[in-house]
Amino acid sequence: MPSRISVLFIILFFSGLVFAKQPKLVWCLDHVPQRQHYEPGKAPYGPMVELMQELAAKLNVDLIYTVPTPVNRCLQQLQNGEVDIVASLLYSPQRDKLFYLMPFDVAHSERWFIHKDYTLKKDKGLRVSLIKGFIYSPKLAKTYKDQGYVLHTAENIEQALTALYFRDTDVVVGPQHFTLGHIDRNIRYKGVLRLAPVDQQGEIEAHIAISRNGRYANRHDEFREALTAIRQEGKYRLYIE
């Protein structure tokens, strides 16, 4: 009959094997204040990190973080199978073909940003800048044109905010957290560019994505059910003003 020490050793050994085989869920993320903070030498923290940690716990997987990575590169890595999951995405038909898109919160993707010295007047002739490559509501540009706004398209967010800083445009339309983070990281913009005190946008969903060809594809229903349960608890509303 084996001794108690031997039995304990066997239990610990096999428990260790089970733990070692815990599947990894690799999350590709960037530093986006108000959602997740990524500082040198520290583990990411913030409400989005807490949500993802709870999701991982419900799925019995270990959550692993990438180094800070821009969202476009994250999506490329997700498509290539280099990472498992990307969060805070808007829906597009192209993305839906590649990924399982699972809603978890509302998104404020069409917020208005203005110069601090500008008094917003939504009159005809208002100069409004959209950003190339960003996802907007399908009829947004037409709606703005019908309202008499003068539309410009910036090549990237830096070009858009530079134009706003120098008063070459009146409004930049972009995602709230992402744009605020970009402003916060640039000493020239910080304190000068600000969120306008209006919300032009209705409810749009923010999604978490896994690849349709990825190693978790066959568990997409589990992901969706877990996110639905988390959302119903109401703990992680990221856009409470």
In tens, the pLDDT along 124-147 reads: 899 999 999 999 988 899 999 999
Question: Nearest 5°: phi and psi at 167?
Answer: 65, 30
In tens, the pLDDT along 158-213 reads: 999 999 999 999 999 999 989 998 998 899 999 999 999 876 666 789 999 999 99
The angle that helices 220-233 and 47-59 make with each other, rounded to 10 degrees, is 130
All residues at 6 or more sequence positions from 30 whose CB lies less than 8 Å from its CB, including other chains: 36, 38, 68, 69, 70, 71, 74
Provide the pLDDT for residue 238.
77
**The pLDDT of residue 26 is above 90:** yes
Q: Which tens digits make up the pLDDT trace of 100-113?
A: 999 999 888 899 99
CA distance 145 to 140: 9
